[in-house]
């Protein structure tokens, strides 16, 4: 049988092993021991209360890089599996496919938490309002649960004023930012009527953003992780520390990392076009990392981005 880095006692399996070994082999091993949610079992995801009182799932489904039918099917299946937070953005060019997936799932809109983001080219008061309406039209929704300024570029203050008005009108339940550092966030909030509810950042075991985390928590702003697995960069799925911790708990590296995010109090939005991986990512609420586990992961921090192209 193909060696896919499973542990004989726990059945733990790495995400990379799934990619290399193929779905059939990986599934056979995974369902023999590792904690995956079964196909028919729907997971209940805890929620966090944002600063404005809106409730947000602590674990969601990201759609960056998913397009067309693959995106539609992935979103529909994610919602069927139990995800309720769906994250997209104008610049992903997949809002229509995401909307189609939401519709295909048949899940009640009121139980969903849908996020999108305004891109730099649409910054400014009037442009941001038009971009927001375009997003709604593509998603075929009447409102968004969360709308973010995607990058701290362009007329940020103008975009924020537009978003504040849309929030006050009930067309967006919560507004926030993405990729803002502490100085940029302070500059925005200095002239704002509404405090950002979210700052969505690159954070994972190799870039833990401890300073940002402490600052946001003190300000009552929820931290959210895009690319919570660093998209597998820097060998995350084969990292020996994460593999050992996964074996200790009978979990995969992916589950271990998501549990680490959860215990830090960070919302995570992993993405996958693989239905088995989507369900695996949900199975993180039946175990806990102890203080030593958390310390071992904290020691992996290199304090550098894994996405220099976004700098």
> In angstroms, rounded to a whole number, what is the distance separating the alpha carbons of residues 29 and 45?
25
Residue 95 to residue 67: CA distance in whole angstroms: 9
C-alpha distances (whole Å) from 182 to each of 117, 164, 186, 199, 212 are 19, 20, 6, 10, 7
Calpha distance 36→56 (Å, rounded): 23
Is 125 among the residues known to form the active site? no
Query: What is the distance between the alpha carbons of residues 302 and 202, in angstroms, rounded to a whole number?
Result: 13
Report d(CA 259, CA 117) in Å as an integer: 26
Tell me the CA end-to-end span of the chain in Å, nearest whole number: 44
Question: From the candidates 92, 125, 143, 147, which is the catalytic residue?
Answer: 92
Burial of 199 (0-12, 13-18, 19+ CB in 10 A): buried
Cα 235 to Cα 11, 32, 205, 261, 286, distances in angstroms: 21, 25, 11, 18, 26
Instruction: Give the burial string for 236-258 (b: 16+ CB within 10 Å, else e).
Output: bbebeebbebbbbbbbbbbbbbb
Residues belonging to the active site:
92
């Amino acid at each position: 049988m193909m060696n896919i880095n499973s542990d004989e006692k726990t059945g733990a399996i790495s995400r990379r092993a799934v990619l290399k070994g193929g779905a059939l082999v990986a599934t056979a091993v995974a369902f023999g021991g590792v904690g995956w949610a079964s196909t028919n079992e729907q997971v209940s995801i805890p929620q966090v209360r944002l600063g404005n009182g809106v409730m947000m799932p602590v674990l969601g489904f990201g759609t960056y890089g998913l397009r067309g039918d693959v995106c539609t099917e992935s979103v529909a299946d994610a919602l069927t599996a139990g995800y309720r937070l769906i994250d997209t953005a104008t610049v992903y060019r997949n809002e229509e496919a995401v909307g189609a997936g939401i519709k295909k799932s048949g899940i009640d809109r009121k139980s969903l938490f849908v996020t999108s983001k305004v891109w730099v080219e649409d910054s400014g008061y009037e442009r941001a309002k038009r971009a927001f309406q375009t997003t709604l039209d593509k998603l075929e929704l009447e409102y968004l649960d969360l709308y973010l300024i995607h990058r701290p570029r362009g007329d940020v203050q103008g975009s924020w004023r537009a978003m504040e008005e849309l929030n006050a009108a009930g067309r967006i339940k919560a507004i926030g930012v993405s990729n803002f550092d502490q100085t940029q966030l302070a500059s925005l909030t200095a002239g704002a009527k509404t405090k950002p509810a979210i700052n969505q950042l690159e954070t994972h075991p190799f870039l833990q953003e401890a300073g940002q985390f402490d600052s946001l928590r003190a300000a009552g702003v929820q931290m959210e992780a895009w690319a919570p697995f660093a998209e597998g960069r820097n060998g995350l799925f084969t990292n020996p520390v994460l593999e050992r911790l996964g074996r200790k708990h009978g979990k995969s590296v992916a589950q271990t990392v998501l549990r680490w995010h959860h215990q830090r109090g960070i919302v995570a939005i992993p993405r996958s076009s693989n239905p088995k991986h989507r369900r695996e990512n949900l199975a993180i609420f039946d175990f806990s990392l102890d203080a030593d586990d958390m310390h071992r992961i904290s020691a992996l921090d290199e304090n550098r981005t894994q996405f220099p192209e976004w700098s």
